Amino acid sequence: MTRDLLAVYPRDSARDERGRLLLGGCDALELAAEHGTPAYVVAEDDLRGQARAYRDAFEAAAPGSHVSFASKAFPCTAVLRVFEQEGLGVDVASGGELALALHAGFAPERIHLHGNARSEVELAAAVDHGLRQVVIDNFDDIERLARIAAERDAVQAVSIRVTPDVRGDTHDGISTGQADSKFGLGVADAREAIARITAQPSLRLDGLHFHIGSQLLELDVFRRAVAAIAPLADAVEEVNLGGGLGVAYVADQARHLPTVEEYAQEKVRAVRELIGDRVRIADEPGRSLVGRAGVTLYGVQTVKRNVSTWVGVDGGMADNLRPMLYGARYEVQVVDRFVDPEDPAQVAAATHCKVVGKHCESSDVLVADALLDAPRAGDVLVVPVTGAYGYAMANTYNGVPRSPVVFVGGGRSRVVVRRERVEELWARDAE
């Protein structure tokens, strides 16, 4: 074997003497037989390990810092509950995510509300629950939130989302720091927002916030963002540095991925050097907390050959939209017959194929350049690093019920979100 074939799998993954994949000590073939496919399988110890790594890294670099989970990455009660137990806060971007966070046990003072188009109902819920912060995205937010808080004789803490005109090296669909963005206020408008907020007795300005994008693999971009907001920092007590650290979806990325410690140190160093040690530091990782912890198991239904070899599975764009939205790349293996792509003999013997879903779109391609060992109907495939945004974006296209979430650890598995039932597809019908 010329490389670590499990480099992008959950940290406690292994292969047994038969070559079968073990996830949290559980045989992947047995998981598929017990829980069906497709299924999101999540290593709970990986979630907890990443939470502790973030908490410890930021506390070491900036004592008293605040780390929150960006819940949009995996808005599942069981996942949220893990991070609540590990002492993280939570970032929510809608009334629904707020309800999930409260349901999972987060105290309101550990929740902050994001979003660029919150309704009055959502803003009112934030005030009524006494959330830690509401992140101001635009001037309309200021006027509406001030009125809502005043009507309740409350004072709501807020921060301002600043768009620093800094772009990271990522896909356009997940880049948010450039000047022409639907998110936040430019530096000049942020100055005006500071003045308007401080004039409102029902609002208290706590901090500045930026988030320049997701799936970032280089750290220098964060320093440029801190430099852009530094002139505004005299007005606040906290600087929230957003999230953004990427994950390795394929082995090549794993070789160059910054560690959580390097990420925290670089961000904190930029704040201390460009702003000073007066401000508290907050951070909001999402993808990098949950991405590697999850894999998706699929059952092969058909293998067809024309110009290409097409391996059709029982899931696809209903359970993982990222390849179709962003051209995201994934690895894939047969769970009991791994192929080493750096072993010439194995590559020569492998089937070069496209792993595709069952949905009625030509774009329903999960992995366009797969190398599989003699794939056939009945095989179970595994796609790693699906812990972020797979479940979050899941849908019922073609009437396919949504997949379950299965936690694994210590050789045991448990369903934390059951598979959707067919009859639930019409459960909301009004007549």
Burial class (CB in 10 A: 0-12, 13-18, 19+), 427: exposed
Q: Is 322 annotated as a binding residue?
A: yes
Q: Which residues pair with 91 in a beta bridge?
A: 70, 112
Q: How far apart are CA 36 and CA 337, in angstroms?
A: 19
Q: Is 284 annotated as a binding residue?
A: yes
Q: Is 361 annotated as a binding residue?
A: yes
Q: How many Cβ atoms sit within 10 Å of the Cβ of residue 121?
A: 9
Q: How far apart are CA 77 and CA 104, in angstroms?
A: 5
Q: Is 375 annotated as a binding residue?
A: no
Residue 26 annotated in active site:
no
Q: Is 286 annotated as a binding residue?
A: yes
Find, among 209, 94, 109, 197, the residue nearest to 146 by Cα. Answer: 197
Q: Is 276 annotated as a binding residue?
A: no
Q: How far apart are CA 112 and CA 190, in angstroms?
A: 19
Is the distance from CB of 83 to CB of 105 less than 8 angstroms? no
Q: How far apart are CA 408 and CA 273, in angstroms?
A: 43
Q: How far apart are CA 75 and CA 46, in angstroms?
A: 17
- Integer CA distances (angstroms), 47 to 252, 255, 287, 288, in order: 23, 21, 11, 10
Find, among 328, 311, 310, the residue nearest to 393 by Cα. Answer: 328
Q: Is 244 annotated as a binding residue?
A: yes
With b meaning 16 or more CB within 10 Å and e meaning fewer, what string describes 251-271? bebbeebbebeebbbbbbbbb
Which of 26, 76, 353, 360 does the annotation list as catalytic?
A: 360
Is the distance from CB of 216 to CB of 139 less than 8 angstroms? no
Find, among 254, 247, 253, 184, the residue nearest to 212 by Cα. Answer: 184
- Torsion sign across C-alpha atoms 365, 315, 44, 82: positive
Q: How far apart are CA 225 and CA 222, in angstroms?
A: 5
Q: How far apart are CA 259 and CA 337, in angstroms?
A: 30
List, as residue ranges, the binding site for substrate: 287, 322, 326, 361, 389
List, as residue ranges, the binding site for pyridoxal 5'-phosphate: 244, 284-287, 389
Which residues are part of the catalytic machinery?
360
List, as residue ranges, the binding site: 244, 284-287, 322, 326, 361, 389
